[in-house]
Amino acid sequence: MTALEEAARAAQHAPSVFNTQPWSWRITGDTMSLFADSSRRLTTVDKEGRLLYLSCGAALHHARVALAASGHAAAVSLLPDPAEPALLATVRLTGTAEATEADRSLFSAITRRHSDRRSFGDRPVPEDELTVLRRLVEEAGAYLHVVRPEQVTDLAISAEVAGNAERDDPAYREELDRWTNRPDFTGDGVPPATGVSPGLRRVPVRDFTPGSPSGMPPGDLHDKGTAYVVLFGRTEEPADLLRGGEALSALLLRATADGLSSSLISDAIEVEWPRHLIRGLIAGIGEPYLVVRLGYLPDVPPPPPTPRRDPRDVITIVE
């Protein structure tokens, strides 16, 4: 298998909204091209396609990490052809570059990272760690705001209000139902076993099976040490959102490599009023993309696996 094909396969592990994996790759010679698969966009949750771009940006970053870890230098071009908006990026091999320890540790985190929606423990996430994550996010072209203790209530209200509004929307319920009840062969969607049943939390997480019991109990930890961070960017233009997705991947892989568990909260951004509250948390200096929860979860087995699509459906190699 070529390095580009290996990179495209590594990218399949990237997180994506509802595990839609809304991308495809075309590999020609020394170049891999990333395409948005708009047939996989969530038409109710993600009307504007923001979450699709973030998901594809995460896949792009996973591919870059795989190439770097295998000693390849690459030139990346975002949205290279205005006439073809579905072409999100091209990655062209430009030579060799010795893999660093950091490259290797991010790469090995790709298969160890999972969304873990259970409550995290009391151990706080160190300031130094948050500083490292902020720097990585900024290097990728986005920004990170660490939610301050006095802001957690607003975040909790946002997540609660958004969760209730979505649950009351029949179109949302239908879309959620579709992506949590996928036949095995599709290799996508969120298995109910990876959700957690609602419980008393500092900040509620998405209920993937409203009205029926989910896979995991939320756990008996209380999210006391959990850090909540808002990933944000300058605009909601596709290029900024793609950079936001790359930043998300950089943050999650580094956090995983450093022993942190994580999961994402985007419902608070999907609904207008909660989104407005989250914009307030970042003092209105940008557009909020996502909230990430980070924390320590001692001595428990990882959550059940989430499926991935058949690489043959995602990767085309043009001889």
Ligand X SMILES: Cc1cc2nc3c(=O)[nH]c(=O)nc-3n(C[C@H](O)[C@H](O)[C@H](O)COP(=O)(O)O)c2cc1C
Report the interface residues with ligand X, using CB under 6 A: 15-19, 51, 54-55, 58, 114-115, 117, 190, 205-206, 263-267, 290, 306
Residue 68 has, within 13 A of its CA and on its CB side, a CA count of: 18
Q: Calculate the alpha carbon distances from 249 to 43, 122, 136, 319 in Å.
A: 24, 25, 10, 30
Give whichever of 18 and 120 is closer to ligand X, judged by the CB atom: 18
Residues 6+ apart with CB under 8 A from 114: 194, 302, 303, 305, 306
Give whichever of 93 and 109 is closer to ligand X, judged by the CB atom: 109
Alpha helices in the chain (DSSP H): 3-11, 50-69, 101-110, 127-139, 152-167, 170-180, 238-257, 267-270, 272-281, 311-314
Q: In angstroms, what is the minimal distance from the CB of 179 to ligand X?
A: 9
Give whichever of 113 and 279 is closer to ligand X, judged by the CB atom: 113
Q: In angstroms, what is the minimal distance from the CB of 166 to ligand X?
A: 10
Q: In angstroms, what is the minimal distance from the CB of 311 to ligand X?
A: 16
Q: In angstroms, what is the minimal distance from the CB of 45 to ligand X?
A: 9
Whether 110 and 7 have beta carbons less than 8 Å apart is answered as: no
Give whichever of 19 and 158 is closer to ligand X, judged by the CB atom: 19
Q: In angstroms, what is the minimal distance from the CB of 115 to ligand X?
A: 4
β-partners of residue 293 are 228, 263
Cα 183 to chain center, whole Å?
23
Instruction: Say how many C-beta atoms besides its own lie within 10 A of residue 74's C-beta.
Output: 21
Give whichever of 192 and 225 is closer to ligand X, judged by the CB atom: 192
Q: In angstroms, what is the minimal distance from the CB of 86 to ligand X?
A: 18
Whether 163 and 182 have beta carbons less than 8 Å apart is answered as: no
Give whichever of 92 and 308 is closer to ligand X, judged by the CB atom: 308
